[in-house]
Amino acid sequence: MDKKATRDGFGEGLLALGDTHPDVVALSGDLEDSARASAFKKKYPERFFSVGIAEQDAVGTAAGLAMEGKIPYVCSFAQFITGKTLEQLRMAVCYQNVPVKVIGSHGGLSVGADGATAEALEEFTHMRSLPRMTVIAPCDALEAKRAAIAIADWPAPVFMRLGRAPVNFITSESTPFEIGKANVMRDGADLTIVACGQMVEHSLLAADTLAGQGIQARVINLHTIKPIDAEKIIAAAKETGAILTVEEHNVLGGMGSAVAEVVVQNHPVPMRFHGIQDTFGTSGDPADLLKAFKLMPEDIVSEAQELLKLKQSFSVAK
Amino acid sequence: MSPSPQVSELKQVANELRKTILKTIAHAGSGHPGGSLSMVELIVGLYWYALKHDPKNPEWSERDILLLSKGHACPAQYTAMAYQGYFPMEELKTLRRYPTRLQGHPERGKLPGIEMSSGSLGQGLSMANGIAMADRLNKRDRRIYCIMGDGEIQEGQVWEAAMTAPHHNLSSVTAIVDANQLQQNGPVKNNQGIEPLADKWKAFGWHTIEIDGQDIEQVIKAYDECKTIKDKPQAIIARTKKGAGVSFMELNPAWHGVAPKPDELEKALAELEAAAN
């Protein structure tokens, strides 16, 4: 199947909701095309609200709509709709506990040429620190479509990260998708790679390479970063004894940190955190950027090998 | 000309509320008397006159919505709600005390009749707009009032929302600016000037009414006028005095966020008592 961006999958899901969920509405500040809400806007013009380039007001307005029973999808760039609005998301959305769906396209480095200001690399950290907020990062366009539909009936605020660049399909209609339930995409007993977004595919490719070296890696698609699937992570720690986390995001406070919070309190095992090492993005072709920031399958293989050395030294020390 | 029976009655209510607000804040030991006192007439004009509401049925589907965006002034709202019968007067004594329903700043869902959480300034008008948009989709005909402070409207989000409401023709929204002239550290004009207020709201596309917000007759007339405007949102610029009604609190920034001590309370109550007679 051809590649497709997760934002495109989201757009299909939102459009489908127009028919099945009359209370779903959408808002955007001149980024409805980028966030793929334009098809919904065209088909349901009375349920789409243009709110100008004003993210704080967009979030507040969405909260007001949600206070009256609507299910608002507020669509923008991930960086702007979480970065400029942390306070609005905190008080108007999470503190009030209204089910606003915050849709952030252009997450990670896949923004590419536009460069660092639009490349969201810290939003998992911010969003998961908000009480009541659910945080989702789909791995392909199909999962993004299913997540877009699933969050409509999820009675909580949600942040969902989408990517701009087309990515391969690694799930199918038969792959389970349930908010808060991680998917084991490949089994293995030597180590576990936990990833989200596009890094799931790269981790699966890395696992193929590792298998050629006689190393069996379990790969978990942690599409829901919060609420986290503690059960599957604890099982992975117990059964594989080492965990590598991979994310297109700052390693400080992101998905890897969320995994570590579960691991260290339940079954401590050696871990490595692979992702953006506390730095900003830059301009370039998305594929070149993923190479430059060492987020390619071969980089994940190297990380896995380093982790296995650590695992080895730990077991020797015991 | 002597005021109509209704106006003189509302004046009495305002005087009574001021006394209870101060007693309530004094009992809590902390709170914001200045901004509570300045908006007493605005609140009385709503709960006793303009606002469609039912204290015995706070979720009444036809009710109007009141959003207190300047959440620190909630003692005035809580006091009005207690007099209206939303909850027992006795409960005012729990203000700010764990595990109270009367939070230091209002919390939606905690106390029936509180429609919005606030305390982080500048956010209420956006939510008012969102509610008005939902009402339009739900074919619900009612009004949404949002009270803001003059210091509060230094927040940029207020002006984002001020552009949104006219753009979407949200004529069910009434913005009320309690222009009490002071913010925490002194006069608004010294901190960051916001004038000319009426011109600004007019320029943003609002039907704008400027009144003496301490004059209950002007307040209810403004509310009446707003109900007749069907083509744009309305802004009421209420010129008020922070700490209104108590001589030593009036226009004194020291009374932004401290509770009166027993002797100060006594003095204030005596003044209000004298003013009532």
Looking at every residue in chain B, the average pLDDT score rounds to: 97
CA distance, residue A200 to nearest chain B CA (Å): 37
- Please answer whether residues B228 and B255 qualify as being in contact, where contact means their C-beta atoms are separated by less than 8 angstroms: no
**Interface touch A47/B120, C-beta < 8 Å:** no
Does pLDDT of A151 surpass 70?
yes
Q: Which residues contact A288 (CB under 8 A, 6 or more apart)?
A: none
Looking at every residue in chain A, the average pLDDT score rounds to: 97
**What pLDDT does residue B110 have?**
97
Q: Are residues A152 and A220 in the same domain?
A: no
Q: Are residues A29 and A136 in the same domain?
A: yes
Name the DSSP class of A92. I
**What pLDDT does residue A123 have?**
98
Q: Are residues A27 and A143 in the same domain?
A: yes
Work out the average pLDDT over A183-189: 98
Nearest to B137 among A47, A52, A67 (CB): A47
CATH of the domain at A141: 3.40.50.970
Number of domains present in the structure of chain A? 2
Give A317's pLDDT tier (boundaries 50, 70, 90): confident
Q: Are residues A210 and A92 in the same domain?
A: no
Q: Are residues A120 and A27 in the same domain?
A: yes
**What pLDDT does residue A110 have?**
86
**What pLDDT does residue B277 have?**
81
Work out the average pLDDT over A61-89: 98
Q: Are residues A204 and A140 in the same domain?
A: no
Per residue in A251-310, pLDDT tens?
999 999 999 999 999 999 999 999 999 999 999 999 999 999 999 999 999 999 999 999
What is the Cα B152 distance to its own chain's centre? 13
Give the Å distances, CA to CA, from B91 to B13, B47, B95, B97.
19, 19, 8, 11
For chain A, how long is the longest CA-to-CA vector? 66
- Please answer whether residues B66 and B176 qualify as being in contact, where contact means their C-beta atoms are separated by less than 8 angstroms: no
Does pLDDT of B124 surpass 70?
yes
Residue A178, domain member (yes or no): no
Q: Alpha-carbon distance B127 to B172, whole Å?
A: 13
**Interface touch A96/B116, C-beta < 8 Å:** yes
Residue A173, domain member (yes or no): no
**What pLDDT does residue A314 have?**
87
Residue B180 in contact with partner chain A when CB distance is under 8 A: no
Active-site positions of A read 55
Q: Are residues A35 and A88 in the same domain?
A: yes
| Percent of all residues in chain A with a pLDDT value above 90, rounded to a whole number | 97
Give B208's pLDDT tier (boundaries 50, 70, 90): very high
Give the Å distances, CA to CA, from A192 to A242, A313, A315.
6, 17, 17
**B-chain residues within 8 Å CB-CB of A87?**
120
- Please answer whether residues B28 and B259 qualify as being in contact, where contact means their C-beta atoms are separated by less than 8 angstroms: yes
Nearest to B131 among A50, A51, A68 (CB): A68
**A-chain residues within 8 Å CB-CB of B117?**
91-92, 95-96
Give the Å distances, CA to CA, from B43 to A15, A234, B23, B76, B175.
43, 55, 18, 7, 13
What ranges in A44-140 are assigned the alpha helix state H? 55-67, 78-83, 86-88, 123-128
How many CB atoms sit inside 10 A of residue A215's CB? 18
CA distance, residue A43 to nearest chain B CA (Å): 16
Residue A176, domain member (yes or no): no
Give A1's pLDDT tier (boundaries 50, 70, 90): low
Q: Are residues A21 and A157 in the same domain?
A: yes
Per residue in B62-95, pLDDT tens?
999 999 999 999 999 999 999 999 999 999 999 9
CATH of the domain at A307: 3.40.50.920
- Please answer whether residues A106 and A77 qualify as being in contact, where contact means their C-beta atoms are separated by less than 8 angstroms: yes
- What domains sit in chain B, N to C, each tagged with a CATH number? 5-276 (3.40.50.970)
Interface of B with A in 36-75 (CB under 8 A): none
Residue A150, domain member (yes or no): yes
Give B258's pLDDT tier (boundaries 50, 70, 90): very high
For A52, the closest chain B residue by CA position comes to B164
Name the DSSP class of A91. I
Residue A170, domain member (yes or no): no
**Interface touch A61/B157, C-beta < 8 Å:** no
Listed residues A128, A161, A194: the one ending a domain: A161
Give A225's pLDDT tier (boundaries 50, 70, 90): very high
- Give strand pairing partners of A193: A219, A244
pTM tops 0.80, yes or no: yes
Per residue in B9-53, pLDDT tens?
999 999 999 999 999 999 999 999 999 999 999 999 999 999 999
Work out the average pLDDT over A204-221: 98
Residue A283, domain member (yes or no): yes
Interface of A with B in 11-50 (CB under 8 A): 25, 46-47, 49-50
**B-chain residues within 8 Å CB-CB of A25?**
133, 137
Per residue in B134-181, pLDDT tens?
999 999 999 999 999 999 999 999 999 999 999 999 999 999 999 999
**What pLDDT does residue B114 have?**
98
Among A23, A28, A57, A70, the strongest candidate for a mutation testing the B interface, having the largest count of B CBs within 10 A, is A57
Q: Are residues A99 and A194 in the same domain?
A: no
Q: Are residues A197 and A262 in the same domain?
A: yes
CA distance, residue B73 to nearest chain A CA (Å): 17
Residue A106, domain member (yes or no): yes
Among B114, B121, B133, B163, the strongest candidate for a mutation testing the A interface, having the largest count of A CBs within 10 A, is B133
Listed residues A129, A161, A193: the one ending a domain: A161
Domain range for A296 is: 183-317
Q: What b/e readout covers B162-186, taking b as 16+ CB neighbours within 10 angstroms? A: bbbbbebebbbbbbbbbbbbbbeee
Q: Are residues A20 and A127 in the same domain?
A: yes
A253 residue type, one letter: G
Pairing of strands B173-179, B234-239: parallel
Residue A155, domain member (yes or no): yes
Q: Are residues A280 and A238 in the same domain?
A: yes
**What pLDDT does residue B2 have?**
60
**A-chain residues within 8 Å CB-CB of B118?**
91
Give B4's pLDDT tier (boundaries 50, 70, 90): confident
